[in-house]
Amino acid sequence: MAFAAFSTTTTPSTDPVARRRSPVALFLLLPGILYLMLFFLTPLVSLLLTSFQAPREFGDIGQYDYAFRWQNYVEVVTTYWPHIVRSFSYALAATFFALLISYPLAYFIGVKARSWPLLQSLMLVLVIAPFFISFLLRTLAWKQLFSDESFVVQSLKALSLLGPEAHVTGTAFSVIFGLTYNFIPFMTLPLYTTLERLDVRYLEAGNDLYASPFQVFRKVTIPLSMPGIVAGTLLTFIPAAGDYINASRDFLGGTGTQMMGNVIEANFLVLQNYPTAAALSIILMTVILVIVSIYVKRSGTEELL
């Protein structure tokens, strides 16, 4: 038991810190721990068990038995590796473009517009405003804009920037575009909160110490806004990797742009192939966890350079 472990490792009566920490903190943590056990750990275990299930002998479609069928994973990876690779490369691309667009935006709102609070709040509202409309609707709107008959595509074709037979929807471009567009606020807001607190006196000190504006940006601004960059990229990358709306054929995707989310959805809801869907989910989760922990660790140490 946790309490017992506590008291054996520390000398209880002589160490006031340990004594003060134990019962109250654990008591306060209890609801959170219970919540996590119930709504996070239980489904996770159930998902893990499902991923090893085997089809029931002589059973119907969608009937499975608990087993340890690790071959599920081999099958999933050999069948769906293009989707796995695609998911992470699309998510990476979307995160990259979102960062590229959001950083200057957040910098302008958080640093340059400081002396005009009204402009600052107006621009923040503009960043958040799209949230007020369902993102399904907004994504559908982009589908309209990118459809073959749309003004945009017609004009691009008229200008010969697009071949007569080319499409925009259903391409990697439109999916990455959609992901980038939908996750920009998640990137901008954390960036804004760190940049808003950025002390310009550090930038001045950098300037004073012979650093050109670009060097100041690289050596001072970026490291000091690292918390915002890490938060923003995680908030974009993680949901983008599992996203199934943008890449769906009903929205901006096509047959050649399916991501893991789409495959999981199809296996779970249409094919009723629960073990495959579960195995894919576990793979998605594990890869994200590995990537994120490497990333957090590296960005943490890079800060020191």
Which residues of this chain interact with another protein, rule CB under 8 A?
A: 199, 201-202, 204-213, 215-216, 219-220, 223-224, 226, 303-304
Comparison of 125 and 305: residue with beta carbon closer to another protein: 305
What's the CA gap between 295 and 99, in Å, rounded? Answer: 15
The sign one gets for the Cα dihedral 103, 84, 141, 177 is positive
Q: How far is the CB of 203 from another protein (least distance, A)?
A: 9
Comparison of 160 and 301: residue with beta carbon closer to another protein: 301
What's the CA gap between 253 and 143, in Å, rounded? Answer: 9
Comparison of 37 and 209: residue with beta carbon closer to another protein: 209
Q: How far is the CB of 123 from another protein (least distance, A)?
A: 22
Q: How far is the CB of 271 from another protein (least distance, A)?
A: 51
User: Residue 14's CB: how many other CB atoms inside 10 A?
Assistant: 8
Q: How far is the CB of 219 from another protein (least distance, A)?
A: 8
- The answer to whether the CB of 216 falls within 8 A of the CB of 223 is no
What's the CA gap between 53 and 68, in Å, rounded? Answer: 6
Comparison of 44 and 211: residue with beta carbon closer to another protein: 211
Comparison of 48 and 200: residue with beta carbon closer to another protein: 200
Comparison of 115 and 255: residue with beta carbon closer to another protein: 115
Nearest partner of 52 among 29, 74, 21, 35, judged by Cα: 74
What's the CA gap between 275 and 68, in Å, rounded? Answer: 11
What's the CA gap between 197 and 179, in Å, rounded? Answer: 28
Q: How far is the CB of 96 from another protein (least distance, A)?
A: 23
Comparison of 85 and 209: residue with beta carbon closer to another protein: 209
What one-character-per-residue DSSP string does 91-120 give?
Answer: HHHHHHHHHHHHHHHHHHHHTGGGG-HHHH
Q: How far is the CB of 224 from another protein (least distance, A)?
A: 6
What is the token pair recorded at 15? 């160490």
- The answer to whether the CB of 22 falls within 8 A of the CB of 9 is no
Q: How far is the CB of 226 from another protein (least distance, A)?
A: 8
